[in-house]
Amino acid sequence: MQTLSLCMIVKNEAGNLERSLAPLIPFVDEAVVVDTGSDDGTPELAASLGARVHQFAWGHDFSAARNFSLEKAAGDWIIWLDGDNRVPEEDGALLKSLVQRPQDAILWATEVLEPGGGRLLQKRFFPRRPEIRFRYRVHEQLVHPPDLAQVITPVRIFHWGYETRELRQAKARRNLTYLLAELQERPEDFYLRYHLTRHHFYAGELEEAWGQLQMVLATPWLENQNPEIARHARLLAALLLDRADDLSGALRQFREVVERYPDYGLAWYHLGQTCFRRNDFDTAALALARFLELGCGHFFLDQPEEKLTLTALLTRAQALRRLERFPEAGEVLKDAQRRYHQEPGVWLETAALARACEDERAARRALGACLNLRPGFRRARMLLAEMDGRV
């Protein structure tokens, strides 16, 4: 029977281990905790929960600490977690069965950010083999033989380490320091420059992001080595142009991305939203229909896929309404009502469509449903006042 080792690196996680480490102990054969300099009793607490604890001198390198934890593990398979990660009990119960297979695969889990709901697919389980190790000081990447199968599992790992703005900003500053230090050693590394692009993009530093992105896109082997980064980098180029208010340039780039990657749902989503803002409702409706057919098709998202889907449904319904394709808009809204009946925006758009169809009774019913869900919804109250002749 294949055995499973949990590997964690921690520092000052005493407040988190009851949520992260303790619930997983029953579902693994051993827990290896590597402490990198805690002064809050983390090592003692981890040991009391059943982990084997080792000390590691912190050298500003997450991969070095993770690789040290792998050296201390004895299981046939590894699952890695951080101190602010938790696996739900129902998913933890799956772990041992998932690794009862030949050591010929990397197993992926979905990390879900709390409380925002963003998600990313990550390589979280792998065979304990000497040629499988982590690389990079931050945004660690698992390096492994290319012939290993890639298996998506249903396991979810919830991550709450970015709960507050202060935490997010502190981690962003730390990550930037580590990225820049490693870039001095690996100036040609597209992976580092890609993460620098993302850092600057989310910080609103558009010129810096654009400069790093151009170096990423100029990498000759980018598509072969990491197709996921390649297509997201091209999408980032369009999003940067959009952020810089170059809508024409952004549209050209979005179109290039969907032509190159026709199954890339997230690109269709952004193309549809951009076309809608330019009053190109035909293209918006088509692009958003394609997104709704494909789904996001992306390994990481900054917001929940359900939120993107809701926005796509409502934007598509608005586009069809403005094109006076009322029956099609109605079908889209029926889907939205079925899936998101607790969302006030669904009922507001339903009211707008009913009004466009000159069905005042249906419009009032929909506005009533909207205001029951959100009594202070200003747009709904304004529409109701307009219908009552009060404005």
Judge if 283 and 376 occupy the same domain. Answer: no
Judge if 79 and 11 occupy the same domain. Answer: yes
The answer to the question of residue 80 being in a domain is yes
In whole angstroms, what is the distance from residue 214 CA to residue 237 CA?
Answer: 9
pLDDT tens by residue, 45-99: 999 999 999 999 999 999 999 999 999 999 999 999 999 999 999 999 999 999 9
Q: Please, which pLDDT band fits residue 284 given cuts at 50, 70 and 90?
A: very high
The answer to whether 247 and 238 are in contact (CB under 8 A) is no
The answer to the question of residue 329 being in a domain is no
Judge if 41 and 96 occupy the same domain. Answer: yes
Whole-Å CA distances, 44 to 32, 51, 194, 226, 271 = 13, 10, 39, 41, 52
The answer to the question of residue 167 being in a domain is no
Mean pLDDT of 213-225: 93
Judge if 130 and 225 occupy the same domain. Answer: no
Q: Domain count for the chain, please give it.
A: 3
Would the pLDDT of 384 be above 60? yes
The answer to the question of residue 349 being in a domain is yes
Would the pLDDT of 195 be above 60? yes
How many Cα atoms sit within 13 Å of 324 on the Cβ side? Answer: 1
Domain boundaries, position 384: 340-391
Q: Is 204 exposed, middle or buried (0-12, 13-18, 19+ CB in 10 A)?
A: exposed
**Residue 252, domain CATH:** 1.25.40.10
Q: Which residues pair with 152 in a beta bridge?
A: 108
pLDDT of residue 165: 75
Judge if 135 and 194 occupy the same domain. Answer: no
The answer to the question of residue 371 being in a domain is yes
Judge if 91 and 195 occupy the same domain. Answer: no
pLDDT tens by residue, 245-263: 998 999 999 999 999 999 9
Beta-carbon count within 10 A of 336 CB: 23
In whole angstroms, what is the distance from residue 73 CA to residue 82 CA?
Answer: 16
Q: What is the mean pLDDT of the chain?
A: 94
Judge if 276 and 384 occupy the same domain. Answer: no
Counting every residue written for the chain, the total comes to 391
**Residue 56, domain CATH:** 3.90.550.10
Percent over 70 (pLDDT), the chain = 98
The answer to the question of residue 132 being in a domain is yes
pLDDT of residue 301: 63
Domain endpoint, select from 261, 278, 294: 294
> Which element (helix H / strand E) includes 168?
helix 165-185
In whole angstroms, what is the distance from residue 5 CA to residue 174 CA?
Answer: 29
pLDDT tens by residue, 107-130: 999 999 887 777 888 999 999 999
Would the pLDDT of 391 be above 60? no
Q: What is the pTM of this model?
A: 0.85
pLDDT of residue 32: 99
Structure tokens at 372: 């029951």
The answer to the question of residue 325 being in a domain is no
- Report the candidate in 216, 269, 278, 208 with the shortest Cα–Cα distance to residue 246: 278
Structure tokens at 87: 């696996």
Q: Please, which pLDDT band fits residue 234 given cuts at 50, 70 and 90?
A: very high
